[in-house]
Amino acid sequence: MKSRKLPNRIVMSPMTRSRASQPGDEANGLMAECYAQRASAGLIVSEDAWISPMGKGYALIERIGAQRTAIRLSPYGGLFDMGLYADVEETYLYLAQELTRRNLAYMHLMDQRSRGSSPIPDGFLHKFREHYRGTLILAGGMTKELASRHLEDGLIDFAAFGEPFIANLDLVERLRHDWPLLKPDRALSYGGGIKGYTDYPNYQTS
């Protein structure tokens, strides 16, 4: 984000909502409406779009430029039966050091404790920040209090919220004014239409 000035430090994390048009996994007007409703976020990381239906892969930095490339890592993550190993900290600190040299747009860390997986341990974020000098985003079980603390301590540059954005399209204002947050209906998270996607209300002040 070195070349862009964002309005705030709140990021909407990428979330698979499975509303793309079929066949072809094509973006559509409903998806555009969903993102437009949440445009008060400083940055929206949208669902990805495949290069082609026959080649669901990813482009290289050399083709699109480092400042248009970001990476997402989940240190200590154990989803899909991925187990921990002895040198996990050493591995990710090495990655942090090497990826600093790539001059990426940003690094997006995901703490999987909110998904019931292994959490990022205390102290790791401080060490990671010492090794990674680029723009750093943290997601996973984020709250206003946690975001404020990490931002004030200089451990992260942006705080990313995922699930809270589903039911709170005006999340930025709710956080700013300490308004209560709605809880999403998880049964409507994946697939379907408008319900549970673009029909959540804005907060109404009395």
Domains in the chain, start-ordered, CATH in brackets?
8-48+162-206 (no CATH), 62-154 (3.50.50)
pTM: 0.90
E strands, 33-76, where? Answer: 43-44, 70-73
In the prediction, which pLDDT does 38 show? 97
Task: Judge contact between 133 and 106, C-beta under 8 A.
Answer: no
Residue indicated by tokens 């591995």: 91
What is the rounded distance in angstroms from the CA atom of residue 94 to the CA atom of residue 87? Answer: 11
One pLDDT digit (tens) per residue for the chain, 206 residues: 667 889 999 999 999 888 888 887 888 999 999 999 999 999 999 876 665 665 565 576 787 888 889 999 999 987 777 778 889 999 999 999 999 999 999 999 999 887 777 889 999 999 999 999 999 999 999 999 999 999 999 999 999 999 999 999 999 999 999 999 999 999 998 888 999 999 999 999 87
How far is the CA of 203 from the CAs of 64, 92, 167, 179, in angstroms? 39, 40, 11, 8
**Segment 194-201 long-range contacts (CB within 8 Å, at least 24 positions apart):** 194/30, 196/166, 197/17, 197/19, 197/30, 197/34, 198/30, 198/33, 198/34, 198/37, 200/166, 200/167, 200/168, 200/169
Q: Tell the burial category of 140 from Cβ atoms under 10 Å away from its Cβ (0-12, 13-18, 19+).
A: buried
CB contact at 8 A, 128 and 96: yes
Which pLDDT does position 55 carry in this prediction? 55
Rounded CA separation 140/162 (Å): 7
Torsion angle (degrees, nearest 10) of CA 117, 198, 69, 1: -100
Count of beta carbons in the 10 Å neighbourhood of residue 61: 14
Asked whether the CA dihedral 59, 64, 65, 70 is positive or negative, the reply is: negative
Residue with tokens 């703490």: 111
- Provide the 3-class DSSP secondary structure of residue 26: strand
Residue among 72, 81, 71, 68 nearest 1 (CA): 68
